[in-house]
Structure 1
Amino acid sequence: MVDYQGLLQAGSPVRPAGGENHSSRLIGSGAWRRLLILVALAAIWEITARIVGSPLLLPSFLTTVAAFGQGIANGELPLRTLASLQVLVVGYGIGIIAAAILAGLATASRLGAELLSTLTAMFNPLPAIALLPIALLWFGLGTPSLLFVIVHSVLWPLALAAHSGFRAVPRPLAMVGQNLGLTGFRYVARILVPAAFPAILAGLKIGWAFAWRTLIAAELVFGVSSRSGGLGWFIYVNRNQLETTNVFAGLLTIILIGLLVESLLFRTLSRLTVERWGTQQA
């Protein structure tokens, strides 16, 4: 694989040593900044709820956390979360595979590029939630309907991002790979994918966000069933019972999962790939 980091280090500015102490580096780290932002948002939520003064309209942050803890303790929230994540992982994986095939065809030939351009122009603007009635007719009330709308939400933005990344690979870099004798899969794996991975990673993040919110919206509409439904079904049932605190506990679970995926999965993937290769700054 081409050493992108080594090529970039020659032009990198030299940082003075010993300019910062440990405490200032710790406070200035991204993790601490994100934590402060979350604490501030929680405080705003708590203050706003106290001003509104109606738990039915807006339960406080502390009350929601208590309901969240109770949902964890009685096992309902973990069960619903697991049900949603199982469907999400399968649909997300299928969407990634389909996007890789389309982006590969678009990169390999002009016909493939026209095919991707035409399909994305047709289907990318189409909201996944609009396909729910069709999914219900075709696949019935069950997991296949959820997978259908999840794949639709992941496929088009990821395929577009990957294709744009491949097209943006600098021509001199592509020529370097060819001069090194790299062809076929080795050329794609060692030159094209690392150079295009910032765009691919952005597409993966967008696809994840689209898939997650599409799944919750789909579960809110037809759930699957009370026994196998996920977080969307949990929110739907508690909304009908006017258990607003539990509704917000479900929403808090969705938010926490989003934060964990961003912090643990995508940031780790970024450090191991684009930051390590030097194709994107930390």
Structure 2
Amino acid sequence: MKLAAPPIRPEFDRPLPPFVAIAVERPRPLLERLVRQGWLRKLLILLVLAGLWEAAARWQDNDLLLPSFTATLRALLEGLASGELVERARLSLIVLAQGYAAGVVLAFVLTTLAVSTQLGRDLLSTLTAMFNPLPAIALLPLALLWFGLGAGSLVFVLIHSVLWPLALNTFAGFQGVSEALRMAGRNYGLTGLRYVFGILVPAALPAILSGLKIGWAFAWRTLIAAELVFGASSGRGGLGWYIFQNRNELYTDKVFAGLLLVILIGLVVENLIFAAIERVTIRRWGMAR
């Protein structure tokens, strides 16, 4: 039996639309490109605040109450050039790093227990309800009794200031992880720390970074406040003691220089370190805008 040949489809020409030149988008004006730069907008805000500070100081016309921005900047540069402010900042940052690191480790231990067992969840909720509302600086008298005049007391209050907000944010981030990701981790046989660091931590990273930034801010301001008390007690300390000492000697420009350095360190940590971490993690992964 002879097979029939398949039908041949007729050929035809499809007329193409006429070519139309596409207009090339012109480069944006320089002013519009500059406005789109986030760092430049923030710099303009800082310059406006500095101008308002200078105007208020000149209107007040009393350097003992409010030194001008230029006088404060001069005192800051002199303190940095002499090395005194550099040494004070170094002492503060060393203690801050110790307390912050210990607080982060303890927070992750607590949250790991909380996502693993019911007892861990009860422990975390109970401890945070007890200690999170308690100001860290209020524990400094007890820390002085327990650890004496030294860095141990400062590290203790720093751990308290970092531990609870970071633990709460991390646990909230873990609770917000979708059930699909949780099931995927279980299907791969992930348990314990492998499950936490392989599934929960990457998915909850925005909340964890938020907790890290909140903990950093709490720790930094707690350290400066604690050093003010430490300075009165032992004559030692970092930037807080520098501020306290110059306040006693009525060097108001140096007091404001110390405060300005505290602000500058906070801006550097927030806009360089944490911003870089966010850029290479959650922004790169599309988890934040």
Q: TM-score, normalised by structure 2?
A: 0.87
State the secondary structure of the residue aligned to 1:277.
coil
5+ residue gaps, structure 1: 1-16
Distance 1:117 1:89 in 2: 26
Distance 2:242 2:165 in 1: 29
Distance 2:123 2:248 in 1: 45
State the secondary structure of the residue aligned to 2:204.
helix
Check if 1:21 corresponds to 2:44.
no
Sort the Cα spacing of 1:191 and 1:22 in 2 relative to 1 into closer, same or farther, 3 A.
farther
* Residues 111-131 of structure 1, C-alpha deviations (whole Å, 9 max, x = no match): 101100000110110001111
* Residues 215-256 of structure 1, C-alpha deviations (whole Å, 9 max, x = no match): 000000123744x51000000000000000000000000000
Check if 1:239 corresponds to 2:247.
yes
Check if 1:220 corresponds to 2:224.
no
Distance 1:19 1:173 in 2: 45
Distance 1:51 1:87 in 2: 39
Alpha-carbon distance, 1:29 to partner: 1.6
Kindly tell me the number of residue pairs found equivalent between the two proteins: 264
**Equivalent residue for 2:114?**
106
State the secondary structure of the residue aligned to 2:237.
coil
**Equivalent residue for 2:82?**
74
Check if 1:168 corresponds to 2:176.
yes
Sort the Cα spacing of 1:204 and 1:184 in 2 relative to 1 into closer, same or farther, 3 A.
same
Alpha-carbon distance, 1:19 to partner: 7.4
Pick the structure with greater CA Rg.
2
Check if 1:194 corresponds to 2:202.
yes
Alpha-carbon distance, 1:277 to partner: 1.7
Distance 1:212 1:41 in 2: 22
Sort the Cα spacing of 1:29 and 1:155 in 2 relative to 1 into closer, same or farther, 3 A.
same
Q: What amino acid is aligned across from residue 146 of structure 2 in structure 1? A: W
Q: Which has the higher contact order (CA 8 A, sep 6+)?
A: 1
* Residues 19-54 of structure 1, C-alpha deviations (whole Å, 9 max, x = no match): 762732332121111111111111111111111110
* Residues 122-146 of structure 1, C-alpha deviations (whole Å, 9 max, x = no match): 0110001111111111111111010
Q: What amino acid is aligned across from residue 21 of structure 1 in structure 2? A: R
Find the partner of 2:101 among 82, 88, 93.
93
**Preserved CA contact (<8 Å) 1:194 1:277:** no
Aligned Cα root-mean-square deviation (Å): 1.6
**Equivalent residue for 2:130?**
122
Q: What amino acid is aligned across from residue 168 of structure 1 in structure 2? A: G
5+ residue gaps, structure 2: 1-23
Distance 2:220 2:257 in 1: 17
Bigger mean CA deviation after superposition, 77-86 or 164-173:
164-173
Distance 1:136 1:96 in 2: 23
Check if 1:38 corresponds to 2:25.
no
* Residues 57-84 of structure 1, C-alpha deviations (whole Å, 9 max, x = no match): 0000011000000001111000000000
Sort the Cα spacing of 1:139 and 1:275 in 2 relative to 1 into closer, same or farther, 3 A.
same
